[in-house]
């Protein structure tokens, strides 16, 4: 294909004679290309986040302290109530023990009536110390 057919002009002597046909920028130029890393500054600052976190922690620790005071007061009240009723509970236990001890002595006297020289209620260990039974009934296998 010849130049005369492409450009619709009679033959040219050089390429420099060709008219320049080229796209250019729009009037006023292109918009600037944004290549920098720009992070938006929206949201609270680091100081605000730190102070908020510290405030929440301080309030939580205050609430823990208040709960400890209440729990300590309830514990002291429970101990005071238990120590107040302790003499009554001890008296009831002593009464129960005396009844059981009498039953035990009667049963021992009935069982050992034929043994000469046997003294009912006497300690066979001769230690000189009287110790109440450690648990519940005196001799559950007897009853």
- Per-residue pLDDT tens digits for 26-84: 888 889 888 888 877 788 889 999 999 999 999 999 999 999 999 999 999 999 999 99
| Cβ atoms of residues 29 and 35 within 8 Å | no
Each residue's pLDDT tens digit, 2-36: 656 666 666 666 777 777 777 888 888 889 888 88
Output the pTM of the full model: 0.44
3-class secondary-structure state, position 6: helix
């Amino acid at each position: 294909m010849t130049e005369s057919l492409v450009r619709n002009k009679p033959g040219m002597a050089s390429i420099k004679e060709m008219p320049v046909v080229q796209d250019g920028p729009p009037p006023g130029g292109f918009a600037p290309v944004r290549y920098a890393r720009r992070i938006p500054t929206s949201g609270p600052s680091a100081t605000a986040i730190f102070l908020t976190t510290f405030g929440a922690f301080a309030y939580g620790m205050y609430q823990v302290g208040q709960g400890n005071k209440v729990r300590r007061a309830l514990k002291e009240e429970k101990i005071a109530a238990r120590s107040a009723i302790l003499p009554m509970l001890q008296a009831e236990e002593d009464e129960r023990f005396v009844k059981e001890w009498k039953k035990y002595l009667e049963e021992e006297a009935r069982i050992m009536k034929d043994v000469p020289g046997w003294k009912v209620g006497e300690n066979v260990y001769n230690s000189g110390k009287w110790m109440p039974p450690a648990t519940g009934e005196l001799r559950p296998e007897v009853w």
